[in-house]
Amino acid sequence: MWGVFFEDINFGADGGIYAELIKNRSFEFAKPLMGWAIQRAKANEGEILVVNRKEENITNPRYIQINTEKGNFGISNEGFKGIGVKKGLRYDFSVMYRQQNTGVKLRLQLLSADNKIIGEGNLNPEKSSSDWKKQSTSFVATKTDAKAKFTILFEGKGKIDLDMISLFPGDTWKNRPQGLRADMVKMLADMKPGFVRFPGGCIVEGTDLANRYQWKKTIGPIENRQLIMNRWNVEFAHRPAPDYYQSFGLGFFEYFQLAEDIGSDALPILNCGMACQFNTGEVASLDELDPYVQDALDLIEFANGDITTKWGKMRADLGHPKPFNLKMMGIGNENWGPQYLERLAIFTKAIKTKYPDFKLINSSGTDPEGDRFNLLNTSLRNSNADFIDEHYYRPADWFLKNAGRYDDYPRDGSKVFVGEYAVHADKNVIGSSRNNWQSALAAASLMTGLERNADVVQMASYAPLFAHIDAWQWAPDMIWVDNLNAYGTPDYYVQKLFSTNKGTDVIASKIDGKNIIGQDGLYASAVTDKISKEVIIKISNTTDKAQNIDFNLEGKRSLKTKGYVDELANTNLNQLNSFENPDAISPKRNSITVKNKKLSLTLKPYSFNVIKIPF
């Protein structure tokens, strides 16, 4: 039911959860030395060349050639808005190189923001003839700095070719080499999400088809993963465009692995042969749709096929012989119109013919009330879509008004996936608001309506997930990070309370025989959990008054007398969490007593409460 939506937006992947610290490590950004600076007052001609061999290597055309014959110099990398360095932590450097003799040696230095050496290592490349070699070394940092930079000083005399210059912290998630930022993964793992939706979002579509997300280009050796400009490399909202590219170091294999690590199902979304309709609106002609459909079929084989199949073997070769047990995928993100329906029909036929039980998620665009949405929804329901993906970025009062949105939804036929949602202060201005207590309380209130209708709304994921404080394009976002730290917004704690208390069965929760959708400003849903043996009630008080509530816990089960309530509350709806005060809005636990199936509880003003009573 409750999952997470991952997109490389706001430096979510590169510069975020993908722990690579070197920006433009293989010199493939539009300006080849973007992110790099030469460390010398005046560079001699020919000291550093960017060599392009695109005919020979289309996926990784550029490398640099260093010549120290006329003297030593260095290059330094600024990282993604600086490099986060932690005192006492190991840093793992690696590089691909070629050199005819052993003339050039590399001195590696982490420099603090005020240019002091805070970590140092050496790498003496061996003779490599004309083949590329990879060599690694590690060193330990002596000081913490969130805005460090990394320098390579070239010593000795000679020429050397360098590519894939890489630096990772030694504390990646599960200590995987060149892996993910552990603190960010942990925040996801703590939520115990049911699924991880990836890789987006609009980056699935791309601004044009050439820049769409193609999963086959994101697996295998990282030096062969062809980099593209991120669709979010735009001046957007209130932030200037960052230098934003997709290295695909976090590729489809790593996404599957991440989902598996944190006990979630993988939920990939694939391009349906249409680029972002808000941008170019480019579509693949119908007689050229085959490669797109084939990508979808091959992805199912990659995830689930045994090792005698081509793509199943590829998965095994990457280190995962066991299938990932993929159950569903999305075809298209926020696509609409007759062009979408035509393409979707072709995908659906091909996939259902080969995999009849595989479930498909269909897009229903971005406007949850407009004519376009209603028309598309009707067509999708008529064609028996397995899941319809609804997105809503709306103000808080819209969320409260829509807490009963699915109470009268048809119970037969298509199910709903609320694939992206968040409270936005002004729906027309992305970035106009941060997640404050008001946005989280309104989201929690609507989510009681999703949970009450869990037979229809079978999945939901808040969006977007991550944002880097120095490089975001879109707000609000659930989790904010800088180069060293991460904190959860009030929405993070709401999402976590739902996903860690999801229960197994919905039960009725009523006031005067009616669903609780705003009477006295209250919103509620209830479940039982047959595994943990608990009744779980979720209730929000959206008013500025405390409310004394007498719960009548009717039903067959005999309840234990002692339970507890996890409470999020604040009288200031504008309250935010921050790096300085990450727990301003976070759950507080109190004990409760149940007598004769009755519970009396005072709900604080502006509060969301998760009540748990064992049976």
Angle of CA points 18, 14, 489, to nearest 5°: 80
Q: Which of 494, 517, 418 is nearest to 458 (CA)?
A: 418
Q: Which residue's CB is nearer to ligand AHR, number 78 or number 334? A: 334
Least separation, in Å, of the C-beta of 50 and ligand AHR? 32
Q: Is 266 exposed, middle or buried (0-12, 13-18, 19+ CB in 10 A)?
A: buried
| Binding flags for ligand AHR, 564-603, as an x/- string (CB under 6 A) | ----------------------------------------
Which helix (H) or strand (E) covers residue 373, if one does? helix 371-382
Binding to ligand AHR in span 361-390, by CB under 6 A: 366
> CB-based contacts of 233: which residues, under 8 Å, 6+ apart?
241, 242, 243, 244, 245
Residue 12 interacting with ligand AHR (CB under 6 A): no
Closest CB to ligand AHR belongs to which residue? 201
Q: Which residue in the list 334, 420, 451, 567 is annotated as catalytic? A: 334
| 3-class secondary structure, 534 | strand
3-state DSSP assignment of residue 365:
coil
Which residue number, 439 or 607, has a Cβ lying nearer to ligand AHR? 439
- Please pick, from the candidates 199, 449, 464, 488, the single residue that binds ligand AHR as defined by CB under 6 A: 464
Q: How far is the CB of 219 from ligand AHR (least distance, A)?
A: 22
Asked if 536 and 614 touch (Cβ cutoff 8 Å), the reply is no
Q: How many CB atoms lie within 10 A of CB 319?
A: 8
Binding residues for ligand AHR restricted to 483-502, rule: CB under 6 A: none
Among 9, 21, 300, 526, binds ligand AHR (CB under 6 A): 9
In this structure, what DSSP letter does residue 570 have?
Answer: -
Query: Alpha-carbon distance 82 to 481, whole Å?
Result: 13
**Interface with ligand AHR, residue 534, by CB under 6 A:** no
Residues in the chain: 615
Binding of residue 91 to ligand AHR (CB under 6 A):
no
Q: Is the peptide bond before 201 cis (omega within 30 degrees of 0)?
A: yes
Q: Which stretch binds ligand AHR (CB under 6 A): 194-202, 255-263, 347-355, 402-410?
A: 194-202
Q: Which of 32, 21, 165, 30 shows the shortest CA–CA distance to 81?
A: 21
- Single out the residue of 463, 517, 568, 601 in contact with ligand AHR (rule: CB under 6 A): 463
Please identify, among the stretches 62-70, 199-207, 355-363, 604-612, the one whose residues bind ligand AHR according to the rule CB under 6 A: 199-207
Q: For residues 108 and 139, what is the distance between their CA atoms, to the nearest angstrom?
A: 9
Task: Give the nearest distance from C-beta 365 to ligand AHR in angstroms.
Answer: 9
Question: Does position 200 bind ligand AHR by CB under 6 A?
Answer: yes
> Judged by CB under 6 A, which of 28, 334, 386, 534 binds ligand AHR?
334
Q: What CA–CA distance (Å, rounded) separates 542 from 518? A: 8
Residue whose tokens read 């704690």: 493
Residues 201-260 that bind ligand AHR (CB under 6 A): 201-202
Nearer to ligand AHR, 257 or 277 (CB): 277
Tokens at 209, concatenated: 């088809």
Smaller CB separation from ligand AHR, 78 or 477: 477
Q: Which is nearer to ligand AHR, 7 or 386 (CB)?
A: 7
Q: Cα-flanking dihedrals φ and ψ of residue 475, to 5°?
A: -145, 155
Taking the CA atoms of the chain, what radius of gyration do you get in angstroms? 26
3-class DSSP state of 594: coil
Size of the site for ligand AHR (CB under 6 A): 13
Q: Closer CB to ligand AHR, residue 301 or residue 420?
A: 420
- From the list 261, 245, 199, 254, the residue with the least C-alpha distance to 222 is 254
Grouping H, G, I as helix, E, B as strand and the rest as coil, residue 182 is helix
Residue 237 CB, nearest distance to ligand AHR (Å)? Answer: 11
CA dihedral 199, 203, 208, 210 (to 10 degrees): -40
- Could you give the count of Cα atoms lying within 13 Å of 194 in the half-sphere of its Cβ? 19
Sole window of 21-29, 47-55, 196-204, 306-314 interacting with ligand AHR (rule: CB under 6 A): 196-204
> Taking the complex as a whole, how short is the minimal distance between the CB of residue 317 and ligand AHR, in angstroms?
32
CB of residue 477 to ligand AHR, shortest distance in Å: 9
Of 92 and 420, which CB lies nearer to ligand AHR in the complex structure? 420
In the complex, minimum distance from the CB of residue 299 to ligand AHR, in angstroms, rounded to a whole number: 19
User: Which is closer to ligand AHR, CB of 364 or CB of 445?
Assistant: 364
Give the whole-angstrom CA distance, residue 277 versus residue 55: 33
- Binder among 7, 28, 301, 491 for ligand AHR (CB under 6 A): 7
Cα–Cα distance measured from residue 251 to residue 258, given in angstroms and rounded to the nearest whole number: 10
Structure tokens of 98? 């070629």
Which residues touch 579 (CB under 8 Å, ≥6 apart)?
469, 480, 482, 485, 487
Q: Does 474 bind ligand AHR (CB under 6 A)?
A: yes
Among residues 99, 333, 525, 609, which is the contact residue for ligand AHR, using CB under 6 A?
333
User: Cβ closer to ligand AHR: 333 or 609?
Assistant: 333
Residue 471 binds ligand AHR (CB under 6 A): no
Task: Give residues 27-86 in contact with ligand AHR (rule: CB under 6 A).
Answer: none
Contact between 420 and ligand AHR per CB under 6 A:
yes
Stretch that binds ligand AHR, among 135-143, 181-189, 197-205, 447-455 (CB under 6 A): 197-205
What sign results for the dihedral spanned by CA atoms 242, 247, 252, 258?
A: negative
Name residue 550's amino acid.
D
Instruction: Examine the residue annotation and report whether 334 is marked as an active-site residue of this protein.
Output: yes
Supply the minimum distance, in Å, between the C-beta of residue 221 and ligand AHR.
28
- β-strand partners of 23: none
Nearer to ligand AHR, 201 or 206 (CB): 201
Distances (CA, A) of 20 to 29, 62, 181, 484: 16, 19, 9, 13
Measured from the CB of residue 292, what is the shortest distance to ligand AHR in angstroms? 18
Q: In whole angstroms, how close is the CB of 478 to ligand AHR at the nearest point?
A: 10
Q: How far is the CB of 384 from ligand AHR (least distance, A)?
A: 24
Give catalytic residue positions. 334
> Which parts of this chain interact with ligand AHR (CB under 6 A)?
7, 9, 200-202, 333-334, 366, 391, 420, 463-464, 474
